[in-house]
């Protein structure tokens, strides 16, 4: 019985690991029944290397789940060295073409599938209700309807390419202003408000047959004021399973996050609590390797032996995970063989179509000073390059480049900027970075153009022109440069929708 319990316990766990090849401990546990792995940017160098790594994993466990966090936009693992070529979620919602959203999901899925990755921890389904949310443009947003329909279209596109999708973070993290990596947040919305704004995307995702949903490390007062969703049987087993009727895989968000560890006593306790609440697969986190994996497995086995967890609950989790792995098998192909040129082109067109222009944004006729307020985005995104410098160079524009790296305290010396010169300030989510916002407020130049690549809503009264891209992917950077270098642009109601 103990060996059966150990296999079931192993099958629920998806750890991380260090290096660009699979370490021996990981291969040993995969042979014993480990459910799979989650890949991060540190595991990725080239497509050929990733395909070889995934082949290592699948050679010892052909039905392993190989997961990754590839949202497009600001969050990318396979393009972490240069930035994603695909626009992010808010861009797609602003463009509002469900076929384009579906195509972006399909393109990302095709690129993952040829590497052998069969599980993508995307897309974001959270409906952001406040610009100070750490999710910002990772959310499709705009309205609950836009959020739900575009998330479902993205899921359909991804899964049509043979990769399982994961709609996150159930039941909706968009009303919390705290980053779950750092703290346990609360959503104080009443039941009617929460049901109208946050739940529709997840009920729509269930109807779209999304392969999995990820739980939020957040307390939703109107659903269960006593526990974060990841540990709440009320929110998972009763609401999601019984009322919404979802029978796909439920995976935890990373159990190393303080949003759940602030409530549970330890990582193994969080794992047991999550399984008891109805979670099937356990994402341990970005920095949880062999010791954490073995401790979690031992804790699950002990909980099953003591009766704290039932064998039936583990068997149910095993059934769902194995069904997903069967429906979305990992089969590494030849890297570069997937032709996603059409999907990338559609993504670039969507980024262009979503871009909004206010005022005069032409950089013709004078010198250009580029000032990038290089605040990194969330911990989830990691250190992915962003901004428009590369695209400006590719467009043949000469400019002086000033990158302000965090912590940002001082402006560069722009005192010699002449009346025909233009300063292009590239920012995103300034309200979330008070120090950067204070430095930006001191920026006084004869002519200022702002390229805002973050959440909408910030006003720039001293700017002669503003470009809003709603995201910072390479596709959105190219759209911003296209607007800066365009000779004319149409206007409508004070803003310019490009395209």
119: helix, coil or strand? Answer: strand
Q: Distance between CA 218 and CA 168 in Å, rounded? A: 12
Residues 6+ apart with CB under 8 A from 377: 74, 136, 384, 386, 428, 429, 472
Structure tokens at 124: 């974001």
- The DSSP 8-state label assigned to residue 254 in this structure reads P
By C-alpha distance, which of 410, 401, 402, 459 is closest to 430? 459
The span from the CA of 159 to the CA of 201, in Å, is 17
Cis-peptide, bond into residue 169, ω within 30° of zero: yes
- Start-to-end CA span in the chain (Å): 63
For 255, which DSSP code?
T
* 195 CB-near residues (< 8 Å, 6+ apart): none
Instruction: Give dist(CA 180, CA 255) in Å, integer.
Output: 10
Task: Burial-class residue 357 by CB neighbours within 10 Å (0-12, 13-18, 19+).
Answer: buried
Q: What angle do the packed helices 2-11 and 290-306 form, to 10 degrees?
A: 130
d(C-alpha 157, C-alpha 252), whole Å: 23
Catalytic residue among 146, 150, 169, 181: 181
Q: Of these residues, 69, 126, 224, 253, which one is catalytic?
A: 253
Rounded Cα gap, residues 281 and 214, in angstroms: 9
**421 classed as catalytic:** no
Residue 368, both tokens: 């250009």
Residue 263 annotated to the active site: no
CA–CA distance, 429 with 497 (Å, rounded to integer): 21
Question: Residues with catalytic annotation?
Answer: 181, 253
């Amino acid at each position: 019985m103990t060996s059966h319990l150990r296999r079931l316990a192993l099958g629920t766990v998806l750890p991380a690991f260090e290096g660009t090849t699979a370490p021996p401990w990981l291969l040993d546990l995969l042979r014993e029944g480990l459910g799979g792995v989650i890949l991060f940017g540190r595991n990725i160098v080239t497509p050929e290397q990733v395909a070889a790594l995934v082949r290592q994993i699948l050679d010892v466990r052909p039905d392993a789940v190989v997961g990754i966090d590839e949202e497009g936009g600001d969050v990318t693992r396979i393009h972490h060295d240069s930035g994603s070529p695909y626009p992010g979620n808010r861009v797609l919602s602003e463009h509002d073409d469900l076929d384009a959203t579906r195509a972006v999901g399909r393109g990302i899925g095709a690129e993952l599938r040829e590497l052998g990755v069969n599980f993508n921890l995307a897309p974001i389904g959270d409906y952001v209700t406040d610009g100070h949310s750490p999710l910002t443009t990772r959310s499709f947003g705009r309205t609950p309807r836009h959020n739900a329909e575009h998330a479902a279209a993205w899921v359909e596109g991804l899964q049509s390419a043979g990769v399982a999708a994961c709609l996150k973070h159930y039941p909706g993290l968009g009303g919390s202003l705290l980053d779950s990596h750092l703290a346990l947040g609360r959503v104080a919305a009443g039941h009617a408000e929460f049901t109208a704004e946050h739940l529709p995307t997840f009920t729509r995702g269930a109807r779209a047959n999304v392969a999995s949903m990820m739980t939020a490390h957040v307390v939703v007062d109107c659903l269960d004021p006593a526990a974060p969703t990841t540990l709440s049987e009320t929110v998972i087993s009763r609401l999601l399973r019984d009322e919404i009727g979802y029978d796909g895989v439920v995976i935890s968000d990373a159990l190393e996050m303080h949003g759940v560890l602030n409530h549970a006593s330890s990582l193994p306790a969080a794992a047991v609590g999550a399984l008891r609440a109805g979670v099937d697969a356990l994402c341990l986190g970005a920095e949880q390797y062999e010791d954490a994996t073995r401790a979690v497995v031992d804790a699950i086995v002990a909980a099953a032996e003591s009766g704290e967890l039932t064998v039936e609950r583990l068997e149910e989790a095993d059934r769902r995970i194995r069904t997903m792995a069967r429906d979305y098998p990992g089969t590494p192909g030849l890297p570069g063989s997937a032709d996603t040129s059409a999907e990338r082109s559609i993504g670039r067109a969507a980024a262009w179509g979503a871009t909004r222009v206010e005022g005069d944004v032409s950089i013709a006729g004078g010198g250009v000073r580029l000032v990038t307020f290089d605040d990194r985005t969330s911990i989830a995104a990691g250190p992915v390059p962003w901004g428009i410098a590369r695209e400006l160079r590719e467009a043949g524009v000469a400019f002086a480049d000033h990158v302000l790296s965090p912590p940002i305290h001082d402006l560069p010396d722009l005192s010699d900027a002449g009346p025909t010169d233009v300063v292009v300030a590239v920012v995103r989510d300034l309200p979330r970075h008070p120090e950067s916002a204070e430095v930006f407020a001191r920026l006084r130049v004869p002519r200022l153009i702002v390229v805002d690549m973050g959440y909408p809503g910030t006003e720039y009264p001293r700017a002669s022109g503003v470009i809003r891209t709603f995201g910072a992917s390479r596709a959105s950077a190219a759209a911003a440069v296209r607007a800066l270098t365009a000779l004319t642009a149409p206007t409508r109601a004070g803003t310019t929708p490009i395209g």
